[in-house]
Chains A and B, each alone.
Chain A
Amino acid sequence: MADVKLSELHKYYGNVHAVRGVDLTIADGEFAVLVGPSGCGKSTLLRTIAGLEDLDGGTITIGGAVVNDLRPRERNIAMVFQNYALYPYLTVNENIAFGLRARKTPEIEIRKRVSEAAEMLGIGNFLQRYPRQLSGGQRQRVAIGRAIVRKADLFLFDEPLSNLDAQLRDEMRTEIKRLHHEITTTMIYVTHDQVEAMTLADRIVLLRDGKIEQQGAPLELFEQPRTGFVAGFLGSPSINLIPATLKANGAGAAVVFQSGDALTLPKARAESLINADGQQVLVGIRPQHFSRAGGPLRDGVVPYSAVADLIQPTGTRTFTTIKIGGFDAVAELQAHDVSSHGERIDLAIDLNRVVLIDPASGLVIA
């Protein structure tokens, strides 16, 4: 068990500045997910924590001890790799025991820990098989088993589920979450998948171009993004960003689209916007904040009439493409809310959680 502290971390690959001054504190027992688009430096960051990459600046502290100059094996960490990294010439049993043997653990202890881990992961029947005789999901379980038996201070996961098909990925995600509840070791998990990030994390660390864009609890990032990038990265389907001009005066505020349509913003949001009158903004509306109009509208919910273009039913919900202010936007409606292409639908848009972004700086202004 250990907390992890990164301060002013820098890493270069030749001329590429892959990690640019990252400061991050992960509490003991916390499940932190490093997420971001490919090339954002998340894997590099994980590998520097593991000691597989040398640092070009900054300090890494694990459990209060600076580990900058320690080799990977001296950091007491366990790591699960994307392609499982199982030794094809060893049985499952020997694969799991590999790290313990490397550390000269007594044979009795090895047997005990391997069978514990095998039971926890449901791979007890495969112990005598070779990795090539296992399915992808089973292999990843073995890889996780190899990490568990080490009883390390810190678990690192490098995109462990991206080689699995969708259904298995959901299953393994659940198992990893359960695993964290059971063993409560500090975990750092890298993924490019925002669903994995949202569902697994105690804390999401969203990276962009080698820097932390924002970090916090999943719902905090989802509901209060600091930048347009964060708003756009989290959520599926992703947030609709529509260019508009802000109009604000003492009476209230509204966003006016290029088509001339206008949406009145809720009173609570308007007060802080008086000084921003006339500013260009991107209006961020999540697909989930659309609904079929019906009955009286709550405060901050505005009516909007639109024509359904593309209709994508998922079973539980139906994603419908409509035009708002002349731009395509996706509305997530109930399964049967819309039936045919070209149908005119009366929508209600909940603007209580609308996000207004300054297109120049990318920062959320309200």
Chain B
Amino acid sequence: MRIGRLPARKARILAARYLGAGVVTLLFLFPVYWLFMISFKTPDEIYHVPPLWIPGQIQFSNYYVLFKDGDVLAILNSLIVAGASSGIAIVLGTLCAYSLARFRTGGENLAMWIISQRMIPPIAVVFPIFLIYVYFGLVDGYFGLILLYTAFNLPYVIWMMRGYIVDVPLELEESALVDGLNRWEVIWKVVFPMVRPGLMATSVFTFVFAWNDFLFALVLTRTEVITFPVMLTHYFGGQSNFWAKIAAMSVLGTLPIFVAVSVMQRYLVRGISLGAVKG
């Protein structure tokens, strides 16, 4: 149906809806826009009154400083820690979830007990963990953070993947077993393809959790392995805030998440809704 043919009343309602949607979109996008703009501004432009909507010229000196001083290593650290921990959590968690779903490991209650681990307020455990880490020499290194994020993400992965795996019709696996696959091949060739959307969605969430964590990173890192959120706080000073650096670093820190979500978007929507309704 063509818009021009709509009755006047319907057309007005439609226009109002689009207007409403546009306003909401602007409202949500504005902080992101502002962040990007600040990252391209000179200090004079940043403090200009009234605020400048668009910088006089696009210049990258704010980013250049981050690279020159080596601050961007924080992004690399975050990528390593978040990437490795979510990768490990996904592999281990999916296997655990398969075991829970198909072999009823631990009976009815183990799955619930596992997810309950995720309900502990992190602040309640952060100092005991710090003391243990100091004792074992794990502070300020990749391994300590990867271990911790893996541990924190595992319950989430297990819980989510268990739901997706339970929804895979058992006959698909039995048919494959009869057809000539062993259990590992069944997981690889039947279960993984069936739960791929859920797997992708879960991966994104675990990655984002590790990427955004501030509390543990603040307590467990010092000088060697500083992650992106912790690095950002270094720019907030008692006397002054380095808005240029804050903005540029924030943009760099947002990009990986942005890329991850856009690449996985196709799966995300399906993955989040998968299991909600039986197809």
- Which A positions have Cβ atoms within 8 angstroms of B? 50-52, 71-73, 77-79, 81-83, 85, 87-89, 98-99, 102-103, 146, 150
Contacts and interface: CB of A to CB of B under 8 A. Distances in A.
Contacts of B224: none
Contacts of A73: 177-182
Give chain B's interface secondary structure class.
Answer: helix
18 contacts: A50-B178, A51-B178, A52-B178, A73-B177, A73-B178, A73-B179, A79-B175, A81-B175, A82-B171, A85-B175, A88-B194, A98-B179, A99-B180, A102-B176, A102-B180, A102-B181, A102-B185, A150-B179
Nearest to A156: B178
Interface residues of B, number: 16
A85 B174 contact: yes
Nearest to B173: A85
B115 to A, nearest CB: 27
Given A83-B169, A89-B193, A52 B174 contact: yes
A45 to B, nearest CB: 15
Contacts of B179: 73, 78, 98-99, 102-103, 146, 150
A89 B189 CA distance: 11
Nearest to A150: B179
A150 B181 CA distance: 13
B190 A81 contact: no
Interface in B147-195: 169, 171-172, 174-182, 185, 190, 193-194
Contacts of B180: 73, 99, 102-103
B193 A87 contact: yes
Given A73-B182, A89-B193, A89-B194, A83 B176 contact: no
A77 B178 CA distance: 7
Interface of B: 169, 171-172, 174-182, 185, 190, 193-194
A50 B171 CA distance: 13
A85 B171 contact: yes
Contacts of B172: 85, 87
A98 B169 CA distance: 17
Output the residue of B169, B174, B182 with the most chain A CB within 10 A: B174
Contact of A81 (B174, B181, B182, B193): B174
Contacts of B175: 79, 81, 85, 146
Nearest to B185: A102
Given A85-B172, A99-B178, 11 more contacts: A52-B174, A72-B174, A73-B179, A73-B182, A78-B178, A81-B175, A85-B174, A87-B190, A98-B176, A98-B179, A146-B175
A85 B193 CA distance: 14
A116 B174 CA distance: 25
Contacts of A79: 174-175, 178
Nearest to A104: B180
A77 B174 CA distance: 12
A51 B174 CA distance: 10
Nearest to A98: B179
B177 A72 contact: yes
Contacts of B176: 98, 102
Contacts of A87: 172, 190, 193
Nearest to A132: B279
Contacts of B185: 102
A89 B270 CA distance: 15
A85 B176 CA distance: 9
Contacts of B190: 87
A78 B177 CA distance: 10
Given A87-B193, A89-B193, A89-B194, A72 B178 contact: yes
A51 B182 CA distance: 13
Contacts of A102: 176, 179-181, 185
B33 to A, nearest CB: 40
A78 B180 CA distance: 10
A50 B175 CA distance: 10
Contacts of A81: 171, 174-175
Contacts of A82: 171
A82 B171 CA distance: 9
Nearest to A158: B171
A143 to B, nearest CB: 8
B185 to A, nearest CB: 7
B171 A71 contact: no
Nearest to A88: B194
B169 A85 contact: yes
A88 B180 CA distance: 19
Contacts of B182: 71, 73
A99 B174 CA distance: 12
A162 to B, nearest CB: 13
The list of the 9 closest CB pairs from A to B, nearest first, reads A99-B179, A102-B180, A85-B171, A85-B175, A81-B171, A73-B180, A72-B177, A103-B180, A72-B178
A52 B169 contact: no
Nearest to B172: A85
Contacts of B177: 51-52, 71-73
B108 to A, nearest CB: 14
Contacts of B171: 81-83, 85
